[in-house]
């Protein structure tokens, strides 16, 4: 089958949920029985977001192949329940780096390198690589930012060309816009949307569908107005009011018959193989009254909650699965250092210490790990959260008071966490960590082994530092279980406290593989234990229909 392309652009303002829309649409098209993949084109000049501050960019989402990508890829994978690869996130930086390296190599010898055709051809090649590497029949491709941004012009020009190259029946353009609300007159205005469509037209793209986002009710009259002014079929103007939960979005799109419309445009027949049962189950679950479980997330970038989006979603998945409501408090680890925010930690049924980099706020995280150990509060440590658990244990149980990670104190007398040997001579920051999927073997009888139900797992990583094996003995003697190791036995992947209901931490990031109807085993067992200890009624649920 000729690959079909759905292109999504954004209008009026950014951050209106274009990524979630693309993800939800991917889910919907998959439920019609098509193999889908989703790609994000990011107009910024960084090669990838791996070097950006979490405050600038939010979470860096890591794929199986180790690509450090935009957090929207997390939405794509979670919603459509797919595994993507590095070609699914393209940046201007990657495109130019490739074109310039080819120029230096002499590939264009004699030619003048220009945006059109050299840059646009490279973008095109990368868009087409998605189907080649994933086998997708329908590729959804989202352009980051908003139409009118200088940086996105080469991307839009490429999308324009692709319709001429591939034909109308193989391409579909969706413009996701924001309807502006005027409080004084209590009305929604379509004018900015009209202007944004005009701007899109000026680069040669006429949208086939408009998804009109708003926090207010979008009436049929308003949709008719948008259809008339923007020259789009009324059945292709989709009102999309802000949903209570992200996971309601696929159902709203389904109700608006968006999938059918696109499939018809492509001249395809729905195969209806997978259906949306999983999502209907999920949506019912979300809107039920449920007992609350209080979780404290002790982070260092909590001013921007998007920095922990996969962690939050993974907690949410586990809670939905167990029939409890996630009551999440965001605790700034630097506050804990100044004796603030402890009330939230003390009242929590469970504590999560997620990933992070650099010294700031580390002592607060270590203090949170100590609190969880001493008070036997369920604890889940993710990457850095495993490292702080080790430092804390070394300081207060092994009696090596000045223990630390060499990341935070290069001269520490007890480097219980230290740089991995293969990291020692690396000077470049970008794309040089231990990244992506690596195997781990779980010890018989451990909490993690029971949670996963299998001996061998593969999880996604993003770190430079590791547990220092020179300290294995005192840790083991004092009650730390090295529950997960790399198959060669060299690298510590999962640790557990023996004398504790659930103090488990991993060097990898389990949050990246959690799915809404298939929560990650570590998150599920963490929440289950938190509920059990606190007699919060959970479990006894009908098993959710699987996604596939
Ligand atoms: N900074 C730590 C390391 O590089 C932890 C990384 C993380 O939490 N992702 O090993």
Q: Is residue 433 part of a domain?
A: yes
Question: Does residue 146 sit in helix, strand or coil?
Answer: coil
**DSSP states of 244-298 as a string?**
SSGGGHHHHHHHTTHHHHHHHHTT------S-SHHHHHHHHHHHS---EEEEEEE
Looking at the structure, tell me whether residues 149 and 23 fall in a common domain.
yes
Looking at the structure, do residues 99 and 16 belong to the same domain, yes or no?
Answer: yes
Same domain, 98 and 78: yes
Can 511 be counted among the known catalytic residues? yes
Say yes or no: 179 and 212 in one domain: yes
Q: Is residue 228 part of a domain?
A: yes
The answer to pTM > 0.75 is yes
> Is residue 199 domain-shared with residue 90, that is, in the same domain?
yes
Co-location of 269 and 302 in the same domain: no
Length of the chain measured in residues: 548
The DSSP call for residue 115 is I
- Measured distance CA(471)–CA(377) in Å, rounded: 25
- How far apart CA 45 and CA 43 sit, in angstroms, is 7
Catalytic residue among 88, 141, 319, 383: 383
Residues 6+ apart with CB under 8 A from 535: none
Last residue of a domain, one of 218, 250, 283: 283
Query: What is residue 428's predicted lDDT score, i.e. its pLDDT?
Result: 82
Q: Does 465 contact ligand 1 (Cβ within 6 A)? A: yes
Domain count of the fold of the chain: 2
Distance CA 109, CA 247 (A): 51
* Closest C-alpha residue for ligand 1 atom 6: 463
295 found inside a domain: yes
Closest by alpha carbon to 123, among 91, 171, 149? 91
How far, CA to CA in Å, does 254 sit from each of 122, 146, 257, 261, 377? 34, 25, 5, 10, 42
Of 353, 313, 327, the closest CA to residue 512 belongs to 313
- Within this chain, do residues 299 and 278 fall inside the same structural domain, yes or no? no
Whole-number pLDDT of residue 53 = 84
Res 539: pLDDT: 60
Per-residue pLDDT tens listing for the chain (548 residues): 899 999 999 988 887 889 999 999 999 999 999 999 999 999 999 998 988 888 888 899 999 999 999 999 999 999 999 999 999 999 999 999 999 999 999 999 889 999 999 999 999 999 999 999 999 999 999 999 999 899 999 999 999 999 999 999 999 999 999 999 999 999 998 889 999 999 999 999 999 999 999 999 999 999 999 999 989 999 999 999 998 899 999 999 999 999 999 999 999 999 876 678 888 888 888 999 999 999 999 999 988 889 999 999 999 999 999 999 999 999 999 999 999 999 999 999 999 999 999 999 999 999 999 999 999 999 999 999 999 999 999 999 999 999 999 999 999 999 999 998 888 888 888 888 999 999 999 999 999 999 999 999 999 999 999 999 999 999 999 999 999 999 999 999 999 999 999 999 999 999 999 999 899 999 999 999 999 999 998 665 555 665 44
Those residues with Cβ within 8 angstroms of residue 339's Cβ, 6 or more apart along the chain or in another chain: none
Atom 8, ligand 1: which residue's CA is nearest? 355
Is residue 302 domain-shared with residue 194, that is, in the same domain? no
Q: pLDDT value at position 279? A: 87
Domain for residue 365, yes or no? yes
Cα three-residue angle 103-107-108, rounded to 5 degrees:
70
User: How many Å apart are CA 312 and CA 291, to the nearest integer?
Assistant: 18
Integer-rounded Cα Rg, in Å, for the chain is 25
Q: Are 212 and 181 within 8 A, CB to CB?
A: no
Q: Report the distance separating Cα 459 and Cα 438, nearest Å.
A: 6
Between the CA of 482 and the centroid of ligand 1 the distance, in Å, is 19
Last residue of a domain, one of 283, 300, 320: 283
Dist. CA 407 → ligand 1 center (Å)? 9
Which residue segment(s) compose the domain that 132 sits in? 4-283
Asked if 62 and 435 touch (Cβ cutoff 8 Å), the reply is yes
Atom of ligand 1 nearest to the CA of 383: 8
Pairing of strands 379-382, 503-506: parallel
* Same-domain check for residues 186 and 220: yes
Residues with Cβ < 8 Å from 82, sequence gap 6 or more? 26, 30, 36, 37, 38, 76, 134
Residue with the smallest CA separation from ligand 1 atom 5 is 384
Residues 402 and 415: their CA atoms lie apart, in Å, by 9
244 and 303 share one domain: no
Q: Which of 231, 122, 128, 242 is nearest to 179 (CA)?
A: 242
**CATH code of the domain in which 138 resides:** 3.40.50.300
CB within 8 A of 252, min separation 6: which ones? Answer: 24, 240, 243
Residue 422: predicted pLDDT = 84
Task: Find the 383 Cα to ligand 1 centroid distance in Å.
Answer: 6
Decide whether any atom of ligand 1 lies within 6 Å of the 311 Cβ: no
- Per-residue pLDDT, 426: 84
Is the CB of 50 inside a 6 Å radius of any atom of ligand 1? no
Burial class (CB in 10 A: 0-12, 13-18, 19+), 113: middle
% helix, strand, coil for the chain, step of 5: 40, 20, 35
* Whether 505 contacts 350, CB under 8 Å: no
Task: Enumerate residues 6+ apart whose C-beta is below 8 A from 144.
Answer: 10, 14, 40, 41, 42, 43, 44, 70, 72, 152
Q: Residue 314 CB: number of other CB atoms within 10 A?
A: 30
Residue 75 domain flag: yes
State whether the beta carbon of 438 lies less than 6 angstroms from ligand 1: no
Q: CA 249, 75, 365, 485 torsion: positive or negative?
A: positive
Q: What is the pLDDT of residue 542?
A: 55
Domain edge (last residue) among 225, 254, 283:
283
In a domain, 513, yes or no: yes
One domain, residues 293 and 374: yes
SS3 353: strand
Same domain? For 402 and 504 the reply is: yes
**Residue 170, C-beta contacts closer than 8 angstroms, at least 6 positions apart:** 2, 3, 4, 5, 266
Distance, CA 115 to ligand 1 centroid (Å)?
38
CA–centroid distance, residue 423 to ligand 1 (Å): 13
CATH of the domain at 352: 3.40.50.880
Q: Helix or strand or coil: residue 529?
A: helix
Assigned domain for 423 exists: no
What letter does residue 86 receive in the DSSP assignment? G
Q: Given this model, what pLDDT does residue 544 score?
A: 60
| Known active-site residue 383 | yes
Assigned domain for 540 exists: no
User: Which residue among 301, 357, 362 is best mutated to probe the pocket of ligand 1, counting the most ligand atoms within 8 A of its Cβ?
Assistant: 357
Distance CA 173, CA 5 (A): 8
Q: Say what the pLDDT of residue 178 is.
A: 95
Q: Which two tokens stand for residue 440?
A: 């781990």
Active site residue 444: no
């Amino acid at each position: 089958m000729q690959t079909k392309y759905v292109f999504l652009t954004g209008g009026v303002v950014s951050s209106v949920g274009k990524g979630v829309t693309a993800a939800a649409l991917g889910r919907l098209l998959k439920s019609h029985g098509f193999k889908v993949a989703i790609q994000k084109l990011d107009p910024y000049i960084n090669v990838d977001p791996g070097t950006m501050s979490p405050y600038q960019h939010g979470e860096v989402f890591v794929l199986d192949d180790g690509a450090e990508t935009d957090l929207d890829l997390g939405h794509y994978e979670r919603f459509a329940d797919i595994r993507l690869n590095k070609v699914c996130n393209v940046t201007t930086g990657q495109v130019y780096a490739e074109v310039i390296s080819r120029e230096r190599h002499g590939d264009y010898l004699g030619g003048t390198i220009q945006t059109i055709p050299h840059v646009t051809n490279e973008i095109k090649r990368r868009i087409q690589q998605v189907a080649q590497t994933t086998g997708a029949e329908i590729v959804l491709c989202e352009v980051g930012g908003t139409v009118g941004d200088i940086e996105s012009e080469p991307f839009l020009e490429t999308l324009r060309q692709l319709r001429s190259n591939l034909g109308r029946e193989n391409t579909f353009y969706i413009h996701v816009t924001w309807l502006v609300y005027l409080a004084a007159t209590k009305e929604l205005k379509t004018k900015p949307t009209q202007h944004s469509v005009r701007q899109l037209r000026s680069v040669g793209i006429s949208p086939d569908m408009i998804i009109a986002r708003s926090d207010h009710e979008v009436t049929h009259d308003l949709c008719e107005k948008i259809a008339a002014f923007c020259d789009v079929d009324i059945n292709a103007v989709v009102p999309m009011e802000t949903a209570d939960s992200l996971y309601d979005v696929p159902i709203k799109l389904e109700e608006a018959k968006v999938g059918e419309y696109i499939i018809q445009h492509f001249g395809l027949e729905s195969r209806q193989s997978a259906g949306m049962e999983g999502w209907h189950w999920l949506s019912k679950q979300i809107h039920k009254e449920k007992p609350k479980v209080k979780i404290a997330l002790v982070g260092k970038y909590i001013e921007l909650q998007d920095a922990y989006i996969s962690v939050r979603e993974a907690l949410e998945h586990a809670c939905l699965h167990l029939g409890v409501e996630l009551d999440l408090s965001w605790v700034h680890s630097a506050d804990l250092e100044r004796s603030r925010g402890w009330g939230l930690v003390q009242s929590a049924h469970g504590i999560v210490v997620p990933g992070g980099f650099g010294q700031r706020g580390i002592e607060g995280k270590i203090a949170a790990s100590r609190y969880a150990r001493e008070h036997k509060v369920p604890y889940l440590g993710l990457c850095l959260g495993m490292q702080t658990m080790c430092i804390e244990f070394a300081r207060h149980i092994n009696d090596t008071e000045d223990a630390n990670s060499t990341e935070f104190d290069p001269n520490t007398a007890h480097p219980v966490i230290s740089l991995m040997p293969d990291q020692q001579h690396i000077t470049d920051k970008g794309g040089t960590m231990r990244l992506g999927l690596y195997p781990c073997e779980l010890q018989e009888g451990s909490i993690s082994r029971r949670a996963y139900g299998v001996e061998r797992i593969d999880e996604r990583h993003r770190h430079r530092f590791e547990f220092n094996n020179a300290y294995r003995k005192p840790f083991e003697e004092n009650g730390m279980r090295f529950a997960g190791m790399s198959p060669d036995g060299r690298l510590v992947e999962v640790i557990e406290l023996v004398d504790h209901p659930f103090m488990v931490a991993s060097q990898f990031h389990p949050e990246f593989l959690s799915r809404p109807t298939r929560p990650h085993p570590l998150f599920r067992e963490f929440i289950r234990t938190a509920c059990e200890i606190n007699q919060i009624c959970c479990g006894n649920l009908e098993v959710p229909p699987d996604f596939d």
